[in-house]
Amino acid sequence: MRQYILDPCETLYASQGNIMLVGYARTSTLEQEAGLEAQRRDLEALGCGKVFSEKASSVATRAALETALEFIREGDTLVVTKLDRLARSVVHLGAILDTLTAKGAHLRIVAMNVDTGTATGKLMLNVMASVAQFEREMMLERQREGIAKAKADGKYKGRKPTAMAKKDEIARMAEEGVGATEIARQLGIGRASVYRALST
């Protein structure tokens, strides 16, 4: 279950007028509460006037992050201890940066010593995002080359058959009186797939 906590401590502000450092902390649903507490302590020690925190997996919707992005005002800085606490992918990071830029706000990643409020910090983050994207493209290219070589060598078997490809076998077993659960077990597919195949 995802935990969502909003720490309402608004007494600490950044040094420039009422511009605020806004902290965001996250741990996965499998990690311990202590990890979340440690992030909150670090963010408050850095001067974050508000800290939004939650327990959420890397792919889950992040309600606290969305709330933090809505809360941030012009001149504010979103602060995270590490990049992997914030973004799930390069695309996700880009979307967060776009939101902050549109609001006139900045991003600080403590472990990387990056602050997009400075020209150097913005450049560093763009370079790192570009490198990550390049690595992903290279990985996909190697994957395509591997598939092409396997096909040339006659070793590529392609994707495993889907449940619909087993439709005739599913129908035969059903006619023989085999139940949906047993069909799914024997064919290595989901029971819902069995019902779909039988209904078409």
The share of the chain scoring above pLDDT 70, in percent, equals 86
Tokens of 144: 């395509």
Spans of all domains in the chain: 3-130, 163-199
Compute CA 42 distance to the chain's CA centroid, rounded to the nearest angstrom.
22
Cite the active site residues.
Answer: 28
Among 119, 73, 121, 66, residue whose Cα is nearest residue 96:
66
* Residues contacting 93, CB < 8 A, separation 6+: 83, 86, 87, 129
Mean pLDDT of the chain, nearest integer: 82
pLDDT, tens digit (0-9, with 9 covering 90-100), for 4-36: 444 333 333 444 457 899 999 999 877 778 889
Query: What is the mean pLDDT of the segment spanning 160-167?
Result: 68
**Amino acid of residue 15:** S
> DSSP assignment of 65-84, as one string?
HHHHHHH--TT-EEEESSGG
Tell me: pLDDT of 161 over 80: no
Task: Check if CATH label 3.40.50.1390 holds for domain 3-130.
Answer: yes
Please give the DSSP secondary-structure letter assigned to residue 116: T
pLDDT, tens digit (0-9, with 9 covering 90-100), for 57-103: 777 788 999 999 999 999 999 999 998 899 887 778 888 998 999 99
* pLDDT score for 158: 63
Terminal-to-terminal C-alpha distance of the chain:
36
CATH architecture of 163-199: Orthogonal Bundle (1.10)
Predicted TM-score (pTM) of this structure: 0.59
Residue 110, helix vs strand vs coil = helix
